[in-house]
Structure 1
Amino acid sequence: MSSLSGSKKSVPTPGITVRVENLSISYRTTFERVPTFKNAITRFGRGQRAVKEIKALKNVTFDVPDGTFLGIIGSNGAGKSTLMRSIAGILPPNEGRIEVNGRISPLLSLGVGFNANLSGRENITLGGLAAGLSRREVADRAEAVTEFAGIEEFIDAPMRTYSSGMYSRLAFSVAVHMDPDILMIDEALSAGDAAFKTKAAEKMQELRDNARAMFLVSHSMASITQLCNRAIWLHKGQLMMEGEPKEVIDKYNEFLKVGPSAVTLEDL
């Protein structure tokens, strides 16, 4: 069990795989302002750097009981990937607490953590070790990972030479072959061609029988409906709704048609 917190650690909650309490995450980004004519002259044409604070998540709270397959939906910039990264332990909370009970095999943005200068085989080893497996356990899975990704003849080449499809297929294969308690996938089913998408979907169905929980971020409402038994909808860092996938998707689609007005936000 691991716990990320803005305060203190706590004991595991029985029957809960992941608990998110009042989670808020913000970060700062810089951008260059367009200078006025006067400033451009005094600064020799250089722009002026400005800092902007982005509130990616705002007081998000929900539980993920054992056996939950959670779909996460929302438009670009809603905070979906930030939420996934925080649960995976990559982004610490500014406020709130995350409780995780189990081993996570994250597939975040298709292969985050891979080293493009290393070979595919070496990255399989790194991915397995990061997932908590021993070198022997990783070695036992390496052939199956390579075969599933369909890159046997390229496995010892540096990953910088891989096409985007090869890179994505290997990332997916590593994630799903490491016996995770908690599987986290961010748009992974868009990886590869139609044949690989079918194989990936079948593997996901297989993992449902063994994983304690699954998180799926996707713009494909069909994937959310098919694979998930629970869904949440995020909008500009706020949790708008949690419930059965069809109910959440229907409300989300209705929202998109009406537009994000203040009245709509209040009603939902």
Structure 2
Amino acid sequence: MVEAIAVTDVGIRFRRNRGGRRSFKDLFGRSERRVRPGEFWPLRDVSFSVQAGEAIGVVGRNGQGKSTLLKLVAGVVLPDEGRVQVNGGVAPLIEITGGFVNDLTVRDNVYLTAGLHGMSKAEIDRRFSDIIDFAEIGDFIHTPYKHLSSGMKVRIAFAVISQLEEPIILVDEVLAVGDKSFKEKCYRRIDELLAGGRTLFFVSHNEKDLRRFCTRGLYLDRGKLVLDAPITEVLDRYNADYNSR
């Protein structure tokens, strides 16, 4: 099978002291294994691969590196150690309302956001009605984005990103927002994408959603990958560890 994602010995380093200066050696020298004062490694020595068409769920307590890992796969941040290889484009359902411009209308934001994600104007023209119908905000297409409710903003953002034809879908808790009917619509849309052979990389605390969509799980704890196994086994281990603390 073709690897959609390959993560090899990955580590990423943050600094707690934002006001401190980094030396030339810090910026351009070789990374050393020791941890310097003020450094924090949210992820280190993480390796795994995802085959095309797999649905992977990432679990762990807050602050254990899940969202950082997703951003590494998305290319939003780069690793300080190791390598992240993604074979194919990604549709990032992470912080999905980011990038929308408050003073632009809904229509203009659809064209802007979809264009930034690589869709041509002709493609957006062809899919515009589907996007608006999915979001159920047809009466507001000429309304400035800043005047939409938070729920409407999420709907239009999800509608745009879910129309991308990229082979890899990245999801970070986006299904935790919105009303019940919208959640069900999102679930059906993700089911459709998975049935079409897309690869899913899904970060969530919702065990029901993880069991519904994912066949395999990655369990992160203290920035380390402690278990890579079928999703039911990963959730059982995570719940056991959580209850023992």
- Give the TM-score taking structure 1 as reference length: 0.80
Instruction: Give the secondary structure class of the aligned counterpart of 1:114.
Output: coil
* Aligned match of 2:205: 219
Give the deviation of 1:154 after TM superposition: 2.0
Name the CA distance, whole Å, in 2 between partners of 1:112 and 1:75.
Answer: 24
1:240 to 213, 226, 231: 226
Work out whether 1:173 is the aligned partner of 2:159.
yes
* Matched pairs, number: 228
Flag structure 2 segments of 5+ consecutive residues without an equivalent: 20-36
Work out whether 1:76 is the aligned partner of 2:62.
yes
After TM superposition, the structure 1 = structure 2 runs for residues 188-207 of structure 1, keeping only pairs within 5 Å, are 188-207=174-193
Aligned structure 1 segments of 4 or more residues deviating by more than 3 angstroms: 29-32
Whether the 8 Å contact between 1:234 and 1:240 is mirrored in structure 2 is: yes
AA in 1 matched with 2:2: G
2:52 to 49, 55, 66: 66
Name the CA distance, whole Å, in 2 between partners of 1:224 and 1:79.
Answer: 18
After TM superposition, the structure 1 = structure 2 runs for residues 180-191 of structure 1, keeping only pairs within 5 Å, are 180-191=166-177
* Aligned match of 1:21: 8
The Cα RMSD (Å) is 1.8
Give the deviation of 1:162 after TM superposition: 2.0
Name the CA distance, whole Å, in 1 between partners of 2:170 and 2:177.
Answer: 15
* Aligned match of 2:26: none
Distance change (3 Å), C-alpha of 1:163 and 1:231? same
CA shift digits 1:167-217 (9 cap, x unpaired): 111121111111221111111212211111111111110100224311111
Whether the 8 Å contact between 1:183 and 1:215 is mirrored in structure 2 is: yes
Instruction: Give the secondary structure class of the aligned counterpart of 2:122.
Output: helix
* Aligned match of 1:156: 142
1:131 to 117, 131, 134: 117
Distance change (3 Å), C-alpha of 1:117 and 1:211? farther
Higher RCO (Cα < 8 Å, 6 or more apart): 2
Give the deviation of 1:17 after TM superposition: 0.5
1:86 to 72, 83, 104: 72
2:90 to 104, 109, 123: 104
Name the CA distance, whole Å, in 1 between partners of 2:177 and 2:186.
Answer: 9
Name the CA distance, whole Å, in 2 between partners of 1:30 and 1:231.
Answer: 34
Whether the 8 Å contact between 1:183 and 1:213 is mirrored in structure 2 is: yes
Name the CA distance, whole Å, in 2 between partners of 1:212 and 1:134.
Answer: 21
Structure with max Cα Rg: 1
Give the deviation of 1:18 after TM superposition: 0.6
Instruction: Give the secondary structure class of the aligned counterpart of 1:105.
Output: strand
Question: What fraction of aligned residue pairs are identical, expressed as a percent?
Answer: 35
